[in-house]
């Protein structure tokens, strides 16, 4: 070889790397006369390999032509076999094409037509000869016509673009600090593509997470368009990388309706970016919905209530210290709604009483857990703006803490919504630590993500501060331990009203065990002079409204004089001074006697009767 043309060792390595990147193995030709020919051959081979997808119709047509020549020359009697094989293959593609990466009917139809055309032409070529007119013209025109859909197909073009991008991965890995890593597999989907990354020696998923901004630049995506997460098999030297080119959650997702009819079923809270539903069991679990104002917490709570109100084995209690602004539209489906700090404290205190009563009943039965049913429903307490509860009703936090620690087995669960679940906002650490279902909507700072999801979660790839639209969230639960972005459905005010009206007719009543526990607690309170009948009756706002007399006659008088739309239990407590369990018990008795009726859910009124005195 001429020394003038001898390449340096570094140049040879660089040329070999470039050729391997495009699928051509390096080769050396030792000759003195043909120095330009190897470069031309290598360039042509590289171009053919690079554009192999675009040249696929020409490759198939050429293969069909060669097969026709061979059949006509040596096996002309095989033409019946060819046409039978064509019919079988075309039919198989049409029927079972979805199993060979042809999910859409139009794609299976195209593959069927292409197979039928190639087989029919090959049959005629074997019978008549491939160069018999007009077979060459038919092959050329048919190839051109059938090539147009192939060239225009979006998924094919996307796959080719991804293959060419990932072919340059050695250089990309070197640039982003993941030298030695390799792409093991790749899949193109409707929203972008994803690939399995085999990490280099000593590299971890955390290294890939720290390289995300550099990956976004190297892959040419938008900011926030790359997701890195551990693989489901939990191998430390593997990572899944997802590149989002079109945001699947750019538009709001309309709520399709309730996804469950029993609390024993996993509720659907939204959709992941790949379209799979976010399903999580809620029975015997406490939940936390957290995120900054305007991030979509209320929408997530509405979706949750839409599912829970469809369950006939769930009693719903709620605390809304915004005076009912958020949860009042669900009042017809909520068995008890507290809108003041005093009512909230009383509600949570009664929940602890029910918890204890159910625990005693389970002990007597020799059972470990409370199995929900329409006759023995679970009790779920929704607390909106939990931080307000901690600041305005400190004693209520003690009850919430007790529910969080002991409420799982008796099926008394707590769902809290707050903007920032700090120690001051949550009151006691036990409440937050017991929340094993956590939905984190957008937060302002990364440290808020650790506060909601747990210490170290942001470093592990959970980045709620990068969520860019209301309703988007990350979920952490025993079933969801990998950071995957999701978006909750949109349930607007009209949808809330229609859903509440539809589900209000099928809501269950509190079970006998819980009612007996409340009744016993009220009796014990009335026997002690120093015990308050109801904490909210002693508040300054209600003190002047308490009636001086108590008893069934006062209760009947108030019910008889109630307005047309009825009177609530809270108003009955204020007017009579009776405890809530006692009023519930007397209302049930009067309703069974036909003396009172429930005008709407939670509102009561006496029936007209010529002799109205129930005594």
Farthest CA pair distance, the chain = 124
Q: What is the DSSP letter of 295?
A: S
> What does each C-alpha distance from 71 to 85, 289, 300 come to in angstroms?
14, 70, 66
Q: Does the annotation flag 259 for ligand binding?
A: no
> Coil, strand, or helix at residue 396?
helix
CA distance 155 to 39: 33
Q: Does the annotation flag 294 for ligand binding?
A: yes
Are 572 and 578 a contacting pair, CB within 8 Å?
yes
Q: Does the annotation flag 600 for ligand binding?
A: no
CA distance 131 to 389: 88
Kindly report the number of other CB atoms within 10 A of residue 577's CB atom. 18
DSSP per-residue codes, 323-371: TTTTTGGGTTT-SEEE-SHHHHHHHHHHHHHHHHHHHHHHHHHT-SS--
CA distance 362 to 409: 9
Burial label, 203 (beta-carbon count in 10 A; 0-12, 13-18, 19+): buried
Kindly report the number of other CB atoms within 10 A of residue 301's CB atom. 23
> Coil, strand, or helix at residue 414?
strand
Q: Does the annotation flag 306 for ligand binding?
A: no
CA distance 361 to 499: 34
CA distance 522 to 503: 31
> What does each C-alpha distance from 458 to 284, 434, 519 come to in angstroms?
27, 20, 48
Are 386 and 421 a contacting pair, CB within 8 Å?
yes
Kindly report the number of other CB atoms within 10 A of residue 172's CB atom. 19
Cis preceding-peptide flag for 540 (omega within 30 of 0): no
Residues 6+ apart with CB under 8 A from 56: 150
Q: Does the annotation flag 297 for ligand binding?
A: yes
Are 197 and 208 a contacting pair, CB within 8 Å?
yes
Kindly report the number of other CB atoms within 10 A of residue 145's CB atom. 12
Q: Does the annotation flag 296 for ligand binding?
A: yes
Phi, psi of 35 (to 5 degrees): -85, -25
CA-CA-CA-CA torsion for 10, 16, 17, 20, nearest 10 degrees? Answer: 180
Are 439 and 405 a contacting pair, CB within 8 Å?
no
Q: Does the annotation flag 295 for ligand binding?
A: yes
Are 244 and 225 a contacting pair, CB within 8 Å?
yes
Residue list, annotated binding site for ATP: 291-298
Residue list, annotated binding site: 291-298
């Amino acid at each position: 070889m001429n020394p003038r043309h001898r390449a340096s060792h570094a140049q040879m390595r660089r040329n070999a790397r470039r050729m391997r990147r495009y699928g051509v193995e390096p080769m050396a030709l030792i000759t003195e006369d043909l120095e330009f020919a190897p470069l031309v051959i290598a360039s042509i081979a590289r171009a053919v390999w690079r554009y192999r997808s675009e040249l696929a119709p020409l490759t198939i047509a050429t293969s069909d032509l060669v097969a026709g020549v061979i059949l006509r020359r040596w096996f002309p009697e095989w033409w019946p076999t060819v046409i039978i094989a064509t019919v079988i293959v075309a039919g198989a593609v049409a029927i079972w094409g979805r199993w060979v990466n042809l999910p859409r009917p139009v794609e299976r139809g195209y593959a069927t037509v292409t197979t039928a055309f190639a087989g029919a032409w090959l049959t005629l070529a074997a019978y008549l000869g491939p160069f018999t007119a007009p077979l060459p013209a038919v092959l050329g025109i048919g190839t051109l016509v059938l090539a147009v859909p192939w060239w225009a197909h979006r998924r094919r073009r996307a796959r080719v673009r991804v293959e060419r991008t990932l072919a340059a991965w050695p250089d990309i890995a070197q640039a982003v600090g993941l030298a030695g890593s390799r792409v093991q597999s790749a899949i193109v989907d409707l929203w972008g593509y994803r690939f399995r990354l085999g990490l280099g020696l000593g590299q971890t998923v955390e290294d890939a997470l720290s390289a995300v901004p550099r990956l976004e630049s190297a892959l040419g995506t938008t900011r926030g368009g790359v997701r890195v997460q551990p693989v489901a098999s939990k191998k430390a030297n593997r990572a899944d990388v997802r590149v989002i080119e079109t945001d699947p959650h750019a538009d709001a997702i309309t709520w399709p309706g309730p996804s469950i009819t029993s609390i024993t079923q996993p509720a659907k809270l939204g959709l992941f970016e790949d379209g799979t539903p976010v399903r999580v069991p809620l029975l015997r679990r406490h939940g936390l919905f957290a995120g900054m104002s305007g991030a979509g917490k209320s929408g997530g709570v509405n979706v949750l209530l839409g599912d829970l109100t469809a369950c006939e084995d769930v009693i719903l209690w709620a605390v809304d210290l915004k005076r009912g602004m958020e949860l009042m539209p669900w009042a017809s489906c909520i068995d008890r709604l507290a809108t003041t700090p005093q009512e909230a404290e009383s509600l949570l205190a009664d929940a602890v009483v029910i918890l204890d009563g159910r625990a005693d009943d389970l002990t007597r039965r020799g059972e470990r857990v409370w199995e929900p049913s329409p006759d023995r429903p679970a009790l779920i307490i929704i607390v909106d703006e939990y931080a307000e509860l901690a600041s305005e009703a400190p004693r209520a936090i003690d009850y919430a803490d007790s529910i969080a620690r002991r409420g799982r087995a008796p099926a008394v669960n707590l769902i809290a919504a707050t903007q920032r679940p700090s120690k001051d906002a949550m009151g006691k650490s036990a409440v937050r630590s017991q929340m094993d279902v956590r939905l984190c909507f957008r937060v302002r700072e990364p440290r808020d993500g650790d506060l909601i999801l747990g210490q170290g979660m942001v470093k592990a790839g959970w980045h709620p501060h990068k969520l860019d639209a209301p309703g988007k969230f990350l979920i952490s639960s025993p079933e969801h331990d990998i950071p995957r972005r999701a978006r909750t459905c949109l349930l607007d005010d009209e949808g809330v009203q229609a859903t509440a009206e539809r589900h209000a007719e099928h809501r269950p009543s509190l079970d006998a065990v819980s009612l007996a526990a409340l009744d016993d607690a009220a009796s014990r309170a009335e026997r002690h002079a120093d015990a308050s009948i109801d904490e909210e009756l002693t508040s300054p706002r209600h003190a002047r409204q308490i009636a001086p007399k108590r008893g069934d006659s006062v209760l009947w008088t108030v019910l008889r004089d109630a307005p047309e739309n009825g009177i609530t239990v809270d108003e009955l407590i204020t007017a009579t001074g009776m405890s809530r369990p006692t009023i519930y018990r007397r209302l049930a008795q009067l309703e069974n006697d036909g003396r009172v009726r429930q005008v709407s859910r939670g509102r009561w009124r006496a029936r007209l009767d010529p002799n109205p005195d129930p005594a």
